[in-house]
Structure 1
């Protein structure tokens, strides 16, 4: 049954959304150090006390934005997971969704990195921390579900004493780590990495080949498939 919000509750939601909107802009323009409760209060023409009624500190705002980021990531992953192909194509579609996320929401990707600093995380509420954990679990479930489908269809056989989540962790660390390096390094071209996204795609494919996930990368054009997923699933959004 739907619950009707009171006018005061609606106004509170609207204020909170406005706070997060302003915070996103400040992070984009000035980074973490440029975000402050004073600036937000001044922009909104509210007292600082009103802002603190919504968020107890700026770290809590960062975590709220990180949770927004994860919700956006989940939405893209859920769309990609329904791609009408074999399991290797579907896991490649998830890779396309990860690319789409970073390119469409660079500010969200930056927030995902900032919030993992212990100096920020330790100042945030248990409630928002738990919400972030549940979002990360949902991302894991989407991808591990495809791995389990691959096992059920005989496209993949996991090594002994390895769970689907171990494979997902490998993809997660390869993908997330690669994009962190791309975002933070200005010298990739100088060290011989001319197209880091293409290199990431290849490395993901080689990893899946190594696990024995069929069809292998020499049997299908997965980069072309990922381009197609991005055109057909995400281009109209």
Structure 2
């Protein structure tokens, strides 16, 4: 009897089951302990079937990260389309990233591992191309807000800095603050008493004030604006945060 050929929808549904099982393993044991055997133990099909979808655990990790980028793109696109001045939306981007990290902590931790050469070199080219395309789209979304700030006269780029560098500065600052102030990081004197929301807000204003991006923080009440914007842009996410017993406050 010939093997049953799955239609595309069934094939993708089976692939999602594999990804979901891998996420369970990562949540329980950490990404460093992910193996295909552990994934197989959690799904209703054989190792051979798993290998029809993924070349190895690295390929699974990249697939997980691709799904993570889809979620992040949706949050960032909502911010980019929101009716507010460009600087206000740059602030909102950082809070979109924070919301994502709280609601999807496993996906947040997978990101850096998924970008490492040791993972990428073992993945299928289609998945690599998909990740590259989505990351480009993500950076374009951030860059479009910066370009609006320039075009509308709110920001004049310093001679030695371009849009890509501002995108990188904003991302690295947000990632660093969220990672260092995460509840999963061991407490030390350097972070004692610090709030992730407040430090995101303060450090973003330090960066944007340093660039001379108008309106400067001394001339606009961005804190009040943020709390109004959260309800308008992230209403469903705020409900999910509340269900976890978490609010955005600073």
Deviation at 1:219, TM superposition (A): 1.4
The corresponding residue for 1:95 is 94
Q: How many residues end up aligned between the 2 structures?
A: 232
The corresponding residue for 2:75 is 76
**In structure 1, C-alpha distance between the alignment counterparts of 2:93 and 2:230, rounded to whole Å:** 10
The corresponding residue for 2:85 is 86
CA contact (8 A) 1:80 1:90 kept: yes
Deviation at 1:142, TM superposition (A): 0.7
**In structure 2, C-alpha distance between the alignment counterparts of 1:85 and 1:187, rounded to whole Å:** 36
> Alignment partner of 2:143: what SS?
helix
Per-residue CA distance 1:16-51 (angstroms, 9 max, x = gap): 011111111211111124422222223223111110
How is 1:1-237 mapped onto 2 (pairs within 5 angstroms)? 8-183=7-182, 185-188=185-188, 191-237=191-237
**In structure 1, C-alpha distance between the alignment counterparts of 2:186 and 2:194, rounded to whole Å:** 12
Give the TM-score normalised by the residue count of structure 2.
Answer: 0.85
The corresponding residue for 2:248 is none
Aligned-residue RMSD, C-alpha = 1.9
**In structure 2, C-alpha distance between the alignment counterparts of 1:72 and 1:120, rounded to whole Å:** 21
Q: Which runs of 5+ in 1 are unaligned?
A: 1-5
**In structure 2, C-alpha distance between the alignment counterparts of 1:47 and 1:110, rounded to whole Å:** 28
Give the TM-score normalised by the residue count of structure 1.
Answer: 0.90
Per-residue CA distance 1:173-195 (angstroms, 9 max, x = gap): 11112222234632245654522
CA contact (8 A) 2:181 2:195 kept: no
**In structure 2, C-alpha distance between the alignment counterparts of 1:190 and 1:152, rounded to whole Å:** 39
**In structure 2, C-alpha distance between the alignment counterparts of 1:212 and 1:193, rounded to whole Å:** 29
> Alignment partner of 1:115: what SS?
helix
Per-residue CA distance 1:63-115 (angstroms, 9 max, x = gap): 00001111110000001112211111122221221121111111110111221
Per-residue CA distance 1:153-177 (angstroms, 9 max, x = gap): 1111111243212211111111112
**In structure 2, C-alpha distance between the alignment counterparts of 1:57 and 1:85, rounded to whole Å:** 44
The corresponding residue for 1:3 is none
The corresponding residue for 2:243 is none
Per-residue CA distance 1:106-164 (angstroms, 9 max, x = gap): 11101112213333232222222222121111111111111111111111111124321
CA contact (8 A) 2:181 2:196 kept: yes
